[in-house]
């Protein structure tokens, strides 16, 4: 029998997003609230001055928190429903399973994503180059967070801890760092702490590409270098440490 990889990806998207959204439409509203609420707060507090960076921050938050949410969602499906056990003993590979589930997280965030992309189109008027930079950085953020999420989920045996951990990681890497506003707003010495998060580098690149932050070329190169190295290291560790068959 010829097996369809597309079907294997689709299964994850259906289980982890479409079926829940279809059977419980209320989740559509809740997925919009989180990234947009911070956008509104930042915009109102800054008198509209930071609306542009807040849109970009919302996009970073969606892509990063989607990958991190994978951790708690997969742990929930694995521990409470034993779904992963059933899937491991089937012709699906861990890559197909993770790919489908990760894509599901983006599908789950589509309502908020559509609003933010529409706002970005209307307010930021990005050029093709800016769209390219934005897409690369957001995909890198997503890949990193998916790798972290999937690796942690394979070790997790407690759903309550998983959800708490997921919320904590989103807070530490997507809410606290200066992604909704330029890093120049963060006073010293907290700005140094902000550089511990890869999302800070991602935000700097995006804010600078769209003209909301002025940094030197050297700093921009450093941002890209750190982002790429961190992404590579996290993906490498995830591939090495992720468990599909238990030991």
Partner 1 sequence: MGKLECSELTKVYQDHRKALDNVSFSVETKGIFGLIGRNGAGKTTLIRILATELEQTSGTASINDLDILKQTDKLREKIAIVPQEARPIRWMTPKQTVMSYLLWRGYPYKQANQLAAESLKKLNMEQYANTLNSRLSGGTKRKVLIATATASEAEIIFLDEPTTGLDPISRRELWDILRELGKTRFIFLTTHYLDEAEQLADQIGILKEGKLVSIGSLSDLRQSSRFQYSLKMPPNVQVPPLVDGEVTVGSSGYTQIMTNEAEAFSLARLLSEQNVKFSITPVTLDDIFFRIVGQKARDE
Q: Which residues make up the interface to partner 1 (CB under 8 A)?
A: 1-5, 7-8, 10-12, 14-15, 19-20, 23-24, 77, 80-83, 85-92, 96-97, 245-247
Is the CB of 150 or the CB of 201 nearer to partner 1? 150
DSSP assignment, residue 14?
I
CB of 92 to partner 1, least distance (A): 5
Shortest separation between residue 205's beta carbon and partner 1, angstroms: 37
Which is nearer to partner 1, 89 or 217 (by Cβ)?
A: 89
Contact between 106 and 134 (Cβ < 8 Å): no
Task: Supply 41's token pair.
Answer: 């707060």
* Least distance to partner 1, CB of residue 6, Å: 9
In angstroms, give the least distance from the CB of 239 to partner 1: 18
Q: Which two tokens stand for residue 39?
A: 């956008």
Residue number, 8 or 109, with CB nearest to partner 1 = 8
Closest to partner 1 by CB, 125 vs 245, is 245
Q: How is residue 185 annotated by DSSP?
A: G
For partner 1, the closer of residues 129 and 247 by Cβ is 247
Residue closer to partner 1 by CB (options 23, 216) is 23
* Two structure tokens written together for 58: 């919302």
Q: 199 is written with which tokens?
A: 């999302």
Instruction: Kindly state the smallest distance separating residue 83's Cβ from partner 1, in Å.
Output: 7
Interatomic CA distance for residues 198 and 87, integer angstroms = 32
Q: N- to C-terminal Cα distance for the chain? A: 30
Distance CA 140, CA 148 (A): 12
Among positive and negative, which fits the CA dihedral 41, 45, 51, 52? negative
Question: What minimum distance in Å lies between the beta carbon of 71 and partner 1?
Answer: 18
Phi-psi region of 211 (alpha: psi -120 to 50; beta: other; left: phi over 0): left
């Amino acid at each position: 029998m010829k097996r369809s990889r597309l079907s294997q990806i689709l299964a994850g998207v259906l289980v982890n997003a479409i079926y829940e959204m279809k059977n419980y439409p209320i989740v559509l509203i809740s997925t919009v609230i989180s990234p947009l609420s911070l956008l509104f707060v930042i915009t109102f507090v800054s008198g509209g001055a930071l609306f542009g960076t807040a849109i970009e921050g919302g996009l970073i938050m969606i892509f990063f928190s989607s990958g991190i949410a994978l951790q708690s969602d997969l742990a929930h499906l694995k521990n409470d429903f034993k779904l992963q056990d059933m899937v491991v003993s089937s012709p699906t590979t861990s890559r197909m399973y993770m790919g489908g589930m990760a894509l599901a997280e983006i599908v789950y965030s589509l309502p908020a994503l559509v609003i933010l992309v529409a706002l970005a189109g209307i307010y930021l008027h990005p050029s093709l180059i800016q769209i390219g930079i934005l897409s690369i950085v957001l995909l890198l953020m997503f890949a990193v967070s998916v790798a972290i999420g999937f690796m942690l989920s394979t070790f997790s045996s407690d759903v309550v801890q998983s959800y708490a951990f997921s919320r904590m990681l989103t807070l530490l890497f997507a809410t606290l760092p200066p992604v909704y506003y330029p890093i120049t707003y963060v006073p010293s010495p907290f700005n140094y702490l902000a550089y511990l998060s890869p999302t800070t580098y991602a935000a700097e690149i995006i804010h600078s590409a769209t003209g909301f932050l002025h940094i030197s070329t050297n700093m921009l190169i450093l941002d890209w270098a750190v982002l790429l190295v961190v992404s590579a290291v996290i993906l490498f560790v995830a591939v090495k440490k992720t468990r599909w068959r238990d030991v």
